[in-house]
Amino acid sequence: MALNGAGARRDTVHCSVRTTRPDYPGRMRVRPMLDSPVDGGGPPAARPGGPEDIAGLLAARGVAVLSGAGLSTESGIPDYRGATGRHRRHRPMTFQEFTAGEEARRRYWARSHVGWRTITGARPNAGHHAVEALRRTGHVSAVITQNVDGLHRAAGTADAVELHGGLDRVLCLGCGRTSTRERLDARLHELNGTPGRAEGVRVNPDGDVELPDELVAGFRVAPCEACGGVLKPDVVFFGENVPKPRVEHCYRLVEAASGLLVLGSSLTVMSGLRFVRYAAKAGKPVVIVNQGPTRGDGLATATVDLPLGPTLTALADRLKG
């Protein structure tokens, strides 16, 4: 996303052909972008920094935070590309697969019905609480998260923008009605019985687990209670665009901020990297805190490779006065 001569935003992301879906209000359809790099080659060399770089950024107050899966690993939720990353072992279902047929949807909901208990049972960790503490003191002005686990909200950051949606909500692709995941879970329980616990099976970052085909085959999927349409978790699948109004809102938050602090994101896909690019182009300082290199390292004022929970807690305690 860039600015044209008239000062309006212009989308510079090159995607494949998009078509609107009349049965899916407000969304667009694109081809999957699972591993597609947003830039050619590998990540640029990082500019190493430390806690003082984070403190210096936050001292200006009014900093926007962009968080990724690395912030939630201390809550027991695995990430895709970090030290506990599972992207190479688990290929998430794409939007196109989910909408293509009932068999794919049965597989998704059967696996998610078991794995969702791990996500809903997770609790905010020290990093989430530190971000909320920094927000209360005015050092952080806005929180944008790529995570779908709802842990920022659970930590008290009620206005955190969930860029990719939330697993605790369900959307009907037919009528657009939203409902709670708790309600759907109760209906799936009535249709299929109580699912087994996730112990001993691998829970993936998108909230599902690996299940044998025979357990998936007989699973019954619940339709929308209002229109009988197809239900989908209210999250942005791979191969699906973030709703444009949400993206525009995030741009405004970054534009109003004094700088951008990235927490626990590899910035591999454009949904997060575009905000780093936008901040850097506007001349705002960008500090990236992530264990491992990211695709935004070359745009950062400093990169910091430290564990998020202890680092952010120490900074929040230091700055609260």
Does 96 belong to an annotated binding site? no
Q: How far apart are CA 113 and CA 190, in angstroms?
A: 12
227-242 exposure pattern, b = at least 16 Cβ within 10 A, e = fewer: eebbbbbbbbbbbbbb
- Give the pair of three-digit tokens for residue 273: 């990297």
Q: How far apart are CA 313 and CA 31, in angstroms?
A: 40
Residue in the block written with tokens 């002005």: 141
Does 290 belong to an annotated binding site? yes
| DSSP element (H, E) containing 65 | strand 63-67
Does 204 belong to an annotated binding site? no
Helix pair angle (102-121, 181-192), 10° resolution: 120
Cβ(221)–Cβ(107) under 8 Å?
no
Does 175 belong to an annotated binding site? yes
Residue in the block written with tokens 């112990």: 199
Does 149 belong to an annotated binding site? yes
Report the amino acid identity of residue 241.
N
Does 224 belong to an annotated binding site? yes
Cβ(72)–Cβ(79) under 8 Å?
yes
SS3 52: helix
Does 15 belong to an annotated binding site? no
Does 216 belong to an annotated binding site? no
Helix pair angle (244-256, 270-281), 10° resolution: 30
Q: Give the active site residue among 139, 164, 189, 249.
A: 164
Report the amino acid identity of residue 308.
L
Bridge partners of 162, per DSSP, are 145
- Give the pair of three-digit tokens for residue 131: 């971000």
Does 265 belong to an annotated binding site? yes
Does 141 belong to an annotated binding site? no
Does 147 belong to an annotated binding site? yes
Does 264 belong to an annotated binding site? yes
Does 266 belong to an annotated binding site? yes
Half-sphere exposure at residue 315, Cβ-oriented, CA atoms within 13 angstroms? 29
- Assess whether 164 carries a catalytic annotation: yes
Known binding site: residues?
Answer: 146-149, 172, 175, 224, 227, 264-266, 290-292, 308
Q: Which residues are part of the catalytic machinery?
A: 164
Known binding site for NAD(+): residues?
Answer: 146-149, 264-266, 290-292, 308
